[in-house]
Amino acid sequence: MTPPPSRSPRRTLTRALTVAAAVTLVSGLGVVAATQASAAAGCRVAYSANTWSTGFTGNVTVTNLGDPITNGWTVAWAFAGNQTVTQGWNATITQSAKNVTAVSPTYANSLATNASATFGFNANYSGTNTNPTAFTLNGVACTGSTGTTPPTSSATPSSPPTSPSTPPTTTPPPAGAKVDNPYAGVQGYKNPEWQAKANAEAGGSRVSNNPTAVWLDRIAAIEGTDGSSSNGSMGVRDHLDAALAQGAGYIQFVIYNLPGRDCAALASNGELGPNDLPRYKSEYIDPIAAIQADPKYAALRIINIVEIDSLPNLVTNTSGNAGGTAACDTMKANGGYVQGVGYALNKLGAIGNVYNYVDAAHHGWIGWDSNFLPTANILLQAAQASGSVNNVTGFIVNTANYSALKEQWFGIGTSVNGTSVRQSTWVDWNQYVDELTFAQSFRNQLVAVGFNSSIGMLIDTSRNGWGGSARPTAASTSTDVNTFVNQSRIDRRIHAGNWCNQSGAGLGERPRANPETGIDAYVWVKPPGESDGSSSLIPNDEGKGFDRMCDPTYTGNARNGNSLSGALPNAPISGAWFSAQFQQLMANAYPAL
């Protein structure tokens, strides 16, 4: 089992309320709501549903607008149709006929004034899946304002909704007033270009309603293209306008065009050369910042994922490291990565409704002691180059990668016949075996080197589910440490260093806010179905190279232990739609679709 979260960071209250735990689901049992003696009571609820043909995932965020709640909270509502909850998390959810109650877990009974708690559930339905609109918190109707009526013991809304409505959202903060967690309490933007591709696939409508990020991987992507590019035609302003039209609360962009980009790989090499920092600033970052700063978008939370696969390369892939490259030596020497990221953080961080999350690699990259602190320090250098660590909202791990969120059947402290799993070929002396424990611990390290204690972490779960028939259902009984780890691990890659279009991968946790202590959100930053790189050389005008790690016949290099690449065949260039991969991701999704 995954070890207890001894490394879990302390967070501000709104982020710490929803530590994940096992949830008990009981059907047909009545629950008496906890009462709260309070002179002022009030609440606001944001409800959203990701719906497919016969089921949906519901997400609920409740904000306490009244006096602090200290002895437990209960949120209640009634469905309008035949919706039936089948599974829940971050609350104990019960249902009697159409009436549903969600009771706080014992570890999060308190809810301070203006604090929020988020929980979710899976459910079945037939016919129309109408969103509920009437909610109560400890018996008080959630109207978005406070009153002086004390709560009652009843947890059931007075009546169910009678007509469909759009999911309610929290009121955005005034322009320039940033929130603690931009993902909490609001709906994410659904990119219509990705949705169209997903919906065109058999079964794709089951997942196409999830928010995904928009990748700005070249200068032309800012204004959009004529549609001949594999990345579509919508520009930054087009996406922002579409987000407003959707009533979305947040939108995610990937800022990804550094000079000498991706110095340790070829599949995602960019259009700018190693000495093109001036162009990066004036032709790329400045235009993006100008659009995002338009007052028209001031009520929209704009989230930037800043330059994946960049700063950690300066620690692990320069001379002196196995597989180090001259290109990474160049970018370390000329300061292009540090200064480029610093400039992006400065320009974008100055906008009141913009939130910057910097890429921090993944546990299979920097989980060793030799990489852990040096990576935190290089990230701090970039933040300091921006003028202030306040320009960083948080960090993201596992971006466009496949590392398992949680290794269910063993942890870093597990021993087999007296031998630590760290000695296995798979773990290879790493200090972490999954992304969640790594993200929580790395957050502590980032705070220790000088980042704000309020920073939050994101985990890209778009392709790390590893479900299907190959997923282990129990720990191995082998007494050989390598056999035990290989038979027990959720992550089914040949080597943890493999990153391109991995065979056997599946969709992971659906996007949601506050899933674990220290984690702002699980996100789908890499849109499922978009290729990591081509299986063979494909000429293109997007600066995309051919990397042998995307070739299924490649027998590897020093960075992946000279192992087979594990890549799917017949893949297109990075960012292009890869139908076979999308179908595999759905088939191997965990939780299953």
Q: Are residues 198 and 133 in the same domain?
A: no
Predicted pLDDT of residue 373? 96
Predicted pLDDT of residue 200? 96
Q: Are residues 350 and 277 in the same domain?
A: yes
Shortest CA distance to 501 belongs to which of 576, 426, 450? 576
Q: Are residues 116 and 25 in the same domain?
A: yes
Distance CA 456, CA 440 (A): 9
Residue at a domain's end among 492, 514, 531: 531
Amino acid at 143: T
Q: Are residues 121 and 223 in the same domain?
A: no
Predicted pLDDT of residue 256? 96
Give the CATH number, domain containing residue 251.
3.20.20.40
Residue 338 lies in a domain: yes
Q: Are residues 132 and 234 in the same domain?
A: no
Catalytic residue among 262, 434, 491, 532: 262
How many separate domains does the chain show? 2
pTM: 0.71
Q: Are residues 198 and 338 in the same domain?
A: yes
Q: What DSSP string describes 104-135?
A: --GGG--B-TT-EEEEEEEEE--S--PPP--E
Predicted pLDDT of residue 587? 98
Residue 358 lies in a domain: yes
Burial class of 246 by CB neighbour count within 10 A (0 to 12, 13 to 18, 19+):
middle
Residue at a domain's end among 489, 515, 531: 531
Q: Is 262 a catalytic residue?
A: yes
Q: Let me know: does 257 contact 308? Beta carbons within 8 Å.
A: no
Residue 169 lies in a domain: no
Residue 480 lies in a domain: no
User: What are the CA-CA distances from residue 213 to residues 68, 75, 379, 525 (Å)?
Assistant: 36, 31, 22, 5
Shortest CA distance to 270 belongs to which of 206, 214, 219, 199? 219
Q: Are residues 277 and 224 in the same domain?
A: yes
Distance CA 466, CA 505 (A): 5
Beta bridge partners of 252: 303
Residue 396 lies in a domain: yes
Residue 555 lies in a domain: no
Distance CA 578, CA 393 (A): 32
Radius of gyration of the chain (CA): 24
Residue 289: give the domain boundaries: 192-406+430-466+504-531
User: What are the CA-CA distances from residue 518 to residues 5, 315, 397 (Å)?
Assistant: 11, 25, 13
Residue 539 lies in a domain: no
Q: Which residues have a Cβ under 8 Å from the Cβ of 94 and sit 6 or more positions away? A: 25, 26, 27, 29, 30, 31, 100, 101, 103
Q: Are residues 250 and 121 in the same domain?
A: no
Residue 74 lies in a domain: yes
Predicted pLDDT of residue 226? 54
Listed as ranges, residues in the chain with pLDDT below 50 are 1-39, 148-176, 227-232
Q: Are residues 239 and 384 in the same domain?
A: yes
Predicted pLDDT of residue 107? 65
Q: Are residues 197 and 133 in the same domain?
A: no
Q: Are residues 43 and 143 in the same domain?
A: yes
Helix 369-385 vs helix 336-349: angle between axes, to the nearest 10 degrees? 50
Token pair 């790493």: residue? 430
Distance CA 286, CA 425 (A): 46
Q: Are residues 316 and 449 in the same domain?
A: yes
Predicted pLDDT of residue 118? 85
